[in-house]
């Protein structure tokens, strides 16, 4: 019986293992050092990346905001026309747009937080560099060196000023930026008639309804995401539990197991800022938006109640 | 435990300590972020039955029982974490280890109490090389030890240590298709007790290259892949002086489809053709796998895992075909799992399963069936 076939091939197993180890080592070894002292260039790159993301998301927000304003104009027009069906459609469209606007504002707030962190890290390095240059200027220098250092100093100070101005524009962290989201706040005018006050109360009621829609939408999304997380957890547990003791079909390679199921991002968000967040961050994000919408709804309802009280107490 | 196993556990513990210390010791920078993705403590018990009194390499004794049963208790820890450094790279760390204690009965000679110790440590590093090209390096160390190994039909894999390293490059192609190429090297050494040195026949080492293309569309992802694996078995002789040890090439290809909507579904079909300088282990096989999870009323989650394998050896042989680590590769199985949250951070899972697989000796299939209950505790940090 023929038990063997001619032919032989080398197996560069040791080489592959060693190469993977070396490359992993290269990744591991310098990284802590880099993490301790990121270079000026790296921090500039991180800052510019964060600024690009922020500008991009801000642009999306401005677009969403414009569309929400247009939808509100449609509501006003439908109300003026007295067309109940059209008004209902316009309201539905407005609620959708208002939701998108607020969601996108949340994304902007998150990117603003990241940009702020990157900017502060860069300013730290620029401050250190400024001190170093000033220290060097105190030494005896040739006129050429002094000019070069003064030019360096000028560039550093200009850059710090630019970043400071950007920080003023960007504001604080995520929560602070969410606070800045404008809520309709109608002021009482001494010339307001009871009809004016009732109209203001109605506008605020509509705004409360818009927040209600946002809250419902967020609660649906939170429930969906929690469900997806639960499913992904159950699937990971199943695969891990039966694979742990080699009870699972591993495929052609010892280590192969089915990939962990990750909760999906909403396809509608696939090209938006939410796609960048992992499921836990998405959950945190939706909860923050919902909580903010709850606060805003309470605020406008309180205002509406105030206007109604004033309308009843004001001579017509 | 054998001396080799103890040494390996020590090495693995050192690696784990180095990894954990390294990750925790890395200082945070502006955008640096350490995230624990999952941390799970699992405790559970199961009742299982085994059928099929087949030959096996690892057990020095035989028993005439055709069917045996076993109760098993398990304790395990699983975690994975990542660290995003300020320089744009991401370090990955994961560990999965546990102990399973059996209390087996039904044997003619005596009752056995096998105990399995397992641990897997993964370390990885990935970063984007450009806007369209990504790179990952990954190493895995896995160890397994088995005490009081029983005879068939209670098949438990012998202990081993395995080391693996892989390099992956992925890049964006036209029309949103992402291509990947992975080079992997792996080496497995089995722990042989003094009374069963033949277990070392299962030692193997190999290298594999695989290329894939991923097409994502909405909630669905399709991956097509093909690869070739070269394996060497340094302890298995071919009895030919000019080419004395067995070496195989495995050609494989397949397709996997994943959909994540209100449910999670993964389906994979792969085909393999194993060719060797020894005719005995040459075979063709294909496997269809499916993994499905969905929600049920009363906050229950249902997960199904199934695999159906067909394997055809190309040549009849009177000699044993030794197939280390491949018995599960050619298994058919089905698992049904129901889980739900029992309290904050605590999930309970009830599971039933069936497996039909080869022992380390090819073309001989045993069956395992049983049910289990497990608690998964995820503490808050």
Of A3, A121, A251, nearest to B329 by CB-CB distance is A251
Position A191 pLDDT exceeds 50 = yes
B25-to-A21, A121, B34, B73, B127 alpha-carbon distances in Å: 20, 20, 11, 36, 20
In this prediction, residue A150 has a pLDDT band, given cuts at 50, 70 and 90, of confident
DSSP code at position B278? B
Highest mean pLDDT among A9-13, B114-118, B148-152, B188-192: B114-118
pTM beyond 0.90? no
> What integer pLDDT is reported at residue A84 of this predicted model?
80
More confident residue, B336 or A259: B336
Question: What's the alpha-carbon Rg for chain A, to the nearest Å?
Answer: 30
- Structure tokens given for A200: 């203001």
Q: Which residues contact A123 (CB under 8 A, 6 or more apart)?
A: A160, A163, A164
CB-based contact B38 A236, cutoff 8 Å: yes
Position B57 pLDDT exceeds 60 = yes
Which of A11, A12, A42 is most worth mutating to test chain B (most B CB atoms within 10 A of its CB)? A11
- Structure tokens given for A287: 């909860």
- For chain B positions 202-221, those within 8 Å of chain A (CB to CB) are 205-208, 218-219
User: Which residue matches tokens 């949250």?
Assistant: B341
For residue A264, the chain B residue with the least C-alpha distance is B260
The β-bridge partners of B206 are B186, B231
More confident residue, B129 or B73: B73
> What integer pLDDT is reported at residue A219 of this predicted model?
87
Alpha helices in B195-312 (DSSP H): none
Partners of A253 on chain B (C-beta within 8 Å) are 164, 184, 186, 208, 229
- Provide φ and ψ at A10, rounded to 5°: -80, 150
Of A239, A250, A267, nearest to B329 by CB-CB distance is A250
CB-based contact A8 B243, cutoff 8 Å: yes
B303/chain A closest Cα distance in angstroms: 6
Per-residue H/E/C for B102-149: EEEECCCCCCCCCEEEEEEEEEEEEEECCCCEEEEEEEEEEEEEEECC
Position A121 pLDDT exceeds 50 = yes
Q: Which residues contact B184 (CB under 8 A, 6 or more apart)?
A: A16, A253, B164, B165, B166, B167, B207, B208, B209, B210
Which 3 state secondary structure label does DSSP give B381? coil
Length of chain B: 381
- Structure tokens given for B216: 């994502």
Task: Give the tens place of pLDDT for each residue, A5-52.
Answer: 443 334 455 555 555 555 555 444 444 444 456 778 888 888 899 899
Of A6, A117, A227, nearest to B295 by CB-CB distance is A227
- For chain B positions 249-288, those within 8 Å of chain A (CB to CB) are 249-250, 252, 258, 260-264, 266, 268, 270, 272, 276-280, 287
Q: Which residues contact A228 (CB under 8 A, 6 or more apart)?
A: A263, A264, A279, B260, B264
Question: Which stretch of B55-64, B114-123, B328-337 has the lowest confidence by average pLDDT?
Answer: B55-64
Task: Give the tens place of pLDDT for each residue, A66-105.
Answer: 887 788 778 778 877 878 888 778 877 877 777 777 778 7
Peptide bond into B153 cis (omega under 30): yes
Question: What's the alpha-carbon Rg for chain B, to the nearest Å?
Answer: 22
- Structure tokens given for A51: 């600024």
CA dihedral A122, A125, A128, A134 (to 10 degrees): -70
Of A9, A20, A23, nearest to B185 by CB-CB distance is A20
Contact B313, B285 (CB under 8 A): no
CB-based contact A255 B186, cutoff 8 Å: yes
Q: Which of A163, A169, A91, A76 is nearest to A126 (CA)?
A: A163
Q: Which of B324, B323, B290 is nearest to B308 (CA)?
A: B290
User: Which residue matches tokens 């199943």?
Assistant: A238
Q: How many CB atoms lie within 10 A of CB A169?
A: 11
User: Taking the CA of residue A228 as centre, how many other CA atoms within 13 Å lie in the half-sphere pointing to its CB?
Assistant: 25
Angle of helix A40-81 versus helix A84-137 axis, rounded to 10: 160
Partners of B138 on chain A (C-beta within 8 Å) are 20, 24
Mean pLDDT of A231-255: 72
Helix (DSSP H) and strand (DSSP E) numbers for chain B: 1, 16
More confident residue, A314 or A90: A90
Position A199 pLDDT exceeds 60 = yes
Which of A20, A40, A118, A271 is most worth mutating to test chain B (most B CB atoms within 10 A of its CB)? A20
- For chain A positions 24-63, those within 8 Å of chain B (CB to CB) are 24, 27-28, 31-32, 34-36, 38, 42-43, 46, 50
Q: How many CB atoms lie within 10 A of CB B174?
A: 5
In this prediction, residue B49 has a pLDDT band, given cuts at 50, 70 and 90, of very high
Q: How many CB atoms lie within 10 A of CB B163?
A: 21
- Provide φ and ψ at A27, rounded to 5°: -65, -40
- For chain B positions 129-188, those within 8 Å of chain A (CB to CB) are 137-140, 142, 144, 157, 162-167, 183-188
Is A223 near chain B, with CB under 8 Å?
A: no
For chains A and B, what is the number of CB pairs under 8 angstroms?
284
For residue A22, the chain B residue with the least C-alpha distance is B137
Question: What's the mean per-residue pLDDT of chain A?
Answer: 73
B184-to-A20, A205, B251, B268 alpha-carbon distances in Å: 9, 63, 14, 21
- How far apart are the C-alpha atoms of B373 and B225, rounded to whole Å? 36
**Strands B283-296, B300-313: parallel, antiparallel or unpaired by DSSP?**
antiparallel
Mean pLDDT of B158-175: 91
> What integer pLDDT is reported at residue A221 of this predicted model?
82
Partners of B208 on chain A (C-beta within 8 Å) are 252-253
- How far apart are the C-alpha atoms of A88 and A81, rounded to whole Å? 12
Ramachandran category for residue B239: left, alpha or beta (phi over 0 → left; psi -120 to 50 → alpha): left
User: Which residue matches tokens 């699972």?
Assistant: A248
A2-to-B76, B248, B288, B312 alpha-carbon distances in Å: 47, 16, 33, 19
- Structure tokens given for B132: 């369209």
CB-based contact A232 B293, cutoff 8 Å: yes
Is A15 near chain B, with CB under 8 Å?
A: yes
B33-to-B20, B84, B93, B353 alpha-carbon distances in Å: 15, 5, 14, 40
Partners of A52 on chain B (C-beta within 8 Å) are none
Position A249 pLDDT exceeds 60 = no
Position A252 pLDDT exceeds 60 = no
Mean pLDDT of B312-318: 78
Mean pLDDT of B283-298: 90
Task: Give the tens place of pLDDT for each residue, B111-141.
Answer: 889 999 999 999 999 988 888 899 999 999 9
- How far apart are the C-alpha atoms of B186 and B233, rounded to whole Å? 12
Highest mean pLDDT among A27-41, A190-204, A288-302: A288-302
User: Taking the CA of residue B172 as centre, how many other CA atoms within 13 Å lie in the half-sphere pointing to its CB?
Assistant: 9
- Provide φ and ψ at B153, rounded to 5°: -90, 5
Is B352 near chain A, with CB under 8 Å?
A: no
Is A14 near chain B, with CB under 8 Å?
A: yes
Which 3 state secondary structure label does DSSP give B363? coil
Per-residue H/E/C for A43-104: HHHHHHHHHHHHHHHHHHHHHHHHHHHHHHHHHHHHHHHCCHHHHHHHHHHHHHHHHHHHHH
- Structure tokens given for B267: 């389906």
CA dihedral B101, B103, B107, B111 (to 10 degrees): 100
Question: Which stretch of B174-183, B191-200, B338-347, B370-379 has the lowest confidence by average pLDDT?
Answer: B191-200
Partners of B353 on chain A (C-beta within 8 Å) are 242, 247
- Structure tokens given for A278: 């992992």
In this prediction, residue B249 has a pLDDT band, given cuts at 50, 70 and 90, of very high
- How far apart are the C-alpha atoms of A155 and A161, rounded to whole Å? 10
Is B86 near chain A, with CB under 8 Å?
A: yes
Which 3 state secondary structure label does DSSP give A254? coil
> What integer pLDDT is reported at residue A129 of this predicted model?
87
Task: Give the tens place of pLDDT for each residue, B17-33.
Answer: 555 545 444 444 445 67
Partners of A32 on chain B (C-beta within 8 Å) are 22, 25-27
Alpha helices in chain A (DSSP H): 13-28, 30-36, 40-81, 84-137, 143-170, 174-179, 194-244, 279-313
Of A16, A50, A245, nearest to B118 by CB-CB distance is A245
Partners of B264 on chain A (C-beta within 8 Å) are 228, 231-232, 235, 261
> What integer pLDDT is reported at residue B115 of this predicted model?
94
CB-based contact B139 A16, cutoff 8 Å: no
Position B341 pLDDT exceeds 60 = yes
Of B25, B279, B333, nearest to A2 by CB-CB distance is B279
Position B265 pLDDT exceeds 80 = yes
Is A4 near chain B, with CB under 8 Å?
A: yes
Partners of A20 on chain B (C-beta within 8 Å) are 137-139, 165-167, 185
Mean pLDDT of A116-142: 85
Is A120 near chain B, with CB under 8 Å?
A: yes
Partners of A262 on chain B (C-beta within 8 Å) are 260
> What integer pLDDT is reported at residue B324 of this predicted model?
52
Q: Which of B262, B180, B260, B185 is nearest to B223 (CA)?
A: B180
> What integer pLDDT is reported at residue A11 of this predicted model?
42
Mean pLDDT of B241-266: 89
In this prediction, residue A173 has a pLDDT band, given cuts at 50, 70 and 90, of low
> What integer pLDDT is reported at residue A7 of this predicted model?
39
């Amino acid at each position: 019986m023929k038990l063997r076939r001619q032919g032989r091939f080398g197996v560069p197993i040791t080489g592959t293992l060693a190469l993977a180890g070396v490359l992993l080592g290269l990744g591991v070894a310098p990284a802590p050092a880099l993490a301790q002292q990121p270079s000026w260039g790296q921090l500039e790159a991180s800052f510019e990346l964060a600024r690009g993301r922020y500008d991009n998301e801000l642009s999306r927000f401005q677009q969403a905001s414009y569309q929400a304003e247009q939808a509100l104009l449609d509501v006003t027009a439908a109300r003026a026309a007295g067309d109940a069906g059209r008004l209902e459609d316009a309201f539905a469209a407005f609620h959708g747009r208002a939701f998108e606007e607020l969601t996108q504002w949340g994304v902007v707030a998150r990117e603003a937080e990241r940009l702020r962190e990157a900017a502060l890290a860069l300013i730290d390095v620029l401050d250190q560099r400024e001190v170093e240059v000033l220290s060097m200027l105190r030494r005896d220098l040739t006129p050429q060196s002094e000019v070069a250092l003064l030019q360096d100093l000028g560039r550093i100070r200009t850059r710090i000023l630019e970043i400071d101005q950007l920080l003023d524009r960007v504001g604080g962290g995520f929560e602070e930026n969410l606070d800045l989201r404008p809520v309709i706040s109608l002021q009482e005018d001494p010339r307001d008639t009871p009809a004016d006050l009732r109209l203001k109360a109605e506008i605020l009621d509509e705004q409360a309804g818009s927040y209600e829609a946002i809250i419902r939408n967020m609660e649906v999304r939170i429930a969906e995401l929690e469900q997806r997380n639960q499913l992904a957890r159950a699937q990971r547990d199943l695969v891990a539990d039966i694979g742990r003791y080699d009870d699972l079909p591993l495929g052609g390679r010892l280590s192969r197991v089915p990939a962990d199921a990750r909760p999906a991002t909403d396809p509608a968000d696939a090209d938006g800022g939410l796609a960048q967040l992992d499921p836990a961050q998405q959950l945190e994000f939706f909860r923050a938006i919902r909580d903010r919408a709850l606060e805003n709804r309470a605020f406008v309802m309180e205002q509406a109640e105030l206007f109604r009280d004033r309308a009843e107490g004001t001579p017509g | 435990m054998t001396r080799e196993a103890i040494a390996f556990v020590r090495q693995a513990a050192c690696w784990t300590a180095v990894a954990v210390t390294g990750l925790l010791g890395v200082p945070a920078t502006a955008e640096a972020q350490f995230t624990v993705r999952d941390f799970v403590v699992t405790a559970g018990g199961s009742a299982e039955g085994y059928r099929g009194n087949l030959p096996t390499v690892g057990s020095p004794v035989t028993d005439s029982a055709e069917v045996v049963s076993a109760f098993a208790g398990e304790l395990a820890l699983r975690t994975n974490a990542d660290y995003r450094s300020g320089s744009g790279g991401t370090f990955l760390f994961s560990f999965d280890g546990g102990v399973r204690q059996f209390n087996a009965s039904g044997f003619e000679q005596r009752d056995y109490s096998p105990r399995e110790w397992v641990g897997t440590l993964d370390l990885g590093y990935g970063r984007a090389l450009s806007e369209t090209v990504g790179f990952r390096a990954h190493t895995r160390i896995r160890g397994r030890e088995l005490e009081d190994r029983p005879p068939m039909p209670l098949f438990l894999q012998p202990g081993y240590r395995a080391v693996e390293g892989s390099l992956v490059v992925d890049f964006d192609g036209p029309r949103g298709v992402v291509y990947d190429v992975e080079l992997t090297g792996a080496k497995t050494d089995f722990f042989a007790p003094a009374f069963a040195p033949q277990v070392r026949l299962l030692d193997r080492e190999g290298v594999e290259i695989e290329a894939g293309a991923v097409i994502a569309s909405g909630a669905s992802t399709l991956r097509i892949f093909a690869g070739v694996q070269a394996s060497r078995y340094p302890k298995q002789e071919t009895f030919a002086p000019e080419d004395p040890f067995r070496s195989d090439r495995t050609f494989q290809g397949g397709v996997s489809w994943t959909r994540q909507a209100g449910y999670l579904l993964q389906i994979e079909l792969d085909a393999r053709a194993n060719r060797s300088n020894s005719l005995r282990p040459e075979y063709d096989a294909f496997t269809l796998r499916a993994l499905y999870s969905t929600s049920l009323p009363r906050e229950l989650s249902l997960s199904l895992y199934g695999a159906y394998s067909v394997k055809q050896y190309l040549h009849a042989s009177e000699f044993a075909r030794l197939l280390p680590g491949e018995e599960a590769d050619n298994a058919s199985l089905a698992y049904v799992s129901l889980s739900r949250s029992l309290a904050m951070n605590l999930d309970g899972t009830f599971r039933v399963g069936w497996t039909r697989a080869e022992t380390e000796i090819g073309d001989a299939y045993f069956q395992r069936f049983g049910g289990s209950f497990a608690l998964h505790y995820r503490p808050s940090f």
